[in-house]
């Protein structure tokens, strides 16, 4: 069974729950799941630990809003040049890293440096990004629906349906990608890059492809996040976003379709469940994360799959 279809029943939640808090938590879960799915493509399937995800996330938010505001076009049209910009920058950063054959720790450190460089540019380009004050987003995405026409995405339920639909499209794309010959080449690189080269796989090309796709998906998540929260700030390009993506994938399950979604749900929901002070909550959350990674190296989804096969 295609695991993506397991997300479809989530469309029924607004019909049974009128709790705005629950729906809001799920909206953030869906958006961050897109970020985590993107990271899972380059890390879980291609085996490359990147720290550039935070920069791509923030650039997706800034780029979409600035282009929309400058050209007066819709949210969806503004995404296209934003994606093109992230794609070109990813090609540049990836080409530098992979051309010099940076791997593991060195690849992570260099991509972190590029990510921090992007954050500093956004932070200090006051005439465009408004610096530390950030940008207030008053525009909303619009959709054309049959018998309804063009409507703005406003309100919790409308955003819930948009975020969930976006997640389903991204998850389906990820499923098709990893099940294709491209995904098999990703897996070969992850398992043994030298052997993959010996077999004739262009490892440089496929690592660059995985890196680029993952950053474009992170940019899409950032655009949705910025327009949903109505605010964009430089901290959205920080290392915290990259670390959150890593935590989601490790917690939910590396190299699985639903793992990033489960990890995003736990990462988003735990702070609201643990009723401690901010300091104790962070310590408890960190302890839970470490325990899960040590006891369940394949994440929650991996543990569930193992129990299912054993039973």
- 10-residue mean pLDDT series, the chain (311 residues): 84 89 94 96 95 96 96 95 98 95 91 96 94 93 79 92 96 95 96 93 96 98 97 92 89 90 88 66 70 75 64 47
- Alpha-carbon distances of 269 from 24, 34, 161, 202, rounded to whole Å: 10, 16, 19, 41
Distance CA 279, CA 288 (A): 14
Map residue 154 onto helix, strand or coil.
coil
Q: Smallest Cα–Cα separation from 93: which of 120, 116, 66, 64?
A: 116
Per-residue confidence (pLDDT) for residue 286, from 0 to 100: 72
Supply 45's token pair: 């399937």
Give Dmax (Cα) for the chain.
61
Supply 217's token pair: 């998906």
* Whether 208 contacts 98, CB under 8 Å: yes
Supply 72's token pair: 């007066």
Per-residue confidence (pLDDT) for residue 309, from 0 to 100: 53
* Whether 36 contacts 167, CB under 8 Å: no
* Whether 111 contacts 51, CB under 8 Å: yes
Supply 273's token pair: 């469940």
- Alpha-carbon distances of 130 from 40, 72, 74, 139, 233, rounded to whole Å: 32, 19, 22, 17, 9
- Alpha-carbon distances of 298 from 183, 241, 288, 305, rounded to whole Å: 19, 22, 15, 10
Q: Smallest Cα–Cα separation from 40: which of 144, 158, 186?
A: 186
Per-residue confidence (pLDDT) for residue 311, from 0 to 100: 47
pTM: 0.94
* Whether 156 contacts 27, CB under 8 Å: yes
Continuous H helices in the chain? 13-16, 20-40, 53-71, 75-99, 104-124, 126-129, 156-179, 181-191, 193-198, 203-229, 239-252, 259-273, 278-295, 299-310
């Amino acid at each position: 069974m295609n695991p993506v279809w397991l997300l479809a029943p989530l469309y029924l939640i607004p019909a049974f729950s009128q709790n705005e808090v629950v729906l809001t938590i799920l909206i953030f879960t869906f958006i961050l799941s897109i970020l985590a799915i993107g990271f899972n493509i380059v890390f879980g399937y291609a085996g490359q630990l990147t720290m550039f995800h935070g920069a791509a996330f923030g650039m997706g938010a800034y780029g979409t809003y600035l282009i929309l505001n400058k050209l007066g076009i819709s949210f969806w049209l503004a995404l296209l040049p934003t994606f093109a910009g992230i794609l070109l920058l990813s090609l540049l950063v990836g080409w530098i890293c992979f051309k010099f054959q940076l791997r593991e720790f060195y690849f992570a450190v260099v991509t972190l440096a590029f990510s921090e460089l992007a954050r500093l540019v956004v932070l200090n380009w006051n005439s465009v990004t408004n610096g530390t004050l950030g940008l207030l987003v008053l525009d909303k995405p619009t959709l054309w629906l049959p018998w309804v026409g063009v409507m703005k995405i406003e309100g919790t339920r409308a955003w819930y349906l948009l975020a969930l639909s976006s997640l389903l499209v991204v998850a389906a794309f990820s499923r098709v990608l990893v099940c294709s010959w491209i995904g098999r080449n990703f897996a070969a690189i992850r398992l043994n890059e030298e052997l993959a080269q010996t077999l004739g796989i262009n490892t440089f090309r496929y690592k660059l492809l995985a890196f680029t796709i993952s950053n474009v998906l992170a940019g899409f998540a950032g655009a949705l996040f910025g327009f949903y929260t109505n605010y964009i700030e430089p901290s959205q390009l920080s290392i915290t976003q990259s670390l959150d993506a890593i935590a989601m994938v490790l917690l939910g399950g590396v190299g699985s379709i639903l793992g990033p979604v489960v990890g995003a749900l736990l990462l988003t929901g735990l702070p609201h469940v643990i009723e401690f002070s901010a300091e104790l909550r962070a310590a408890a959350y960190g302890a839970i994360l470490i325990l899960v990674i040590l006891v369940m190296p394949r994440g929650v989804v991996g543990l569930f799959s193992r129990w299912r096969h054993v039973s």
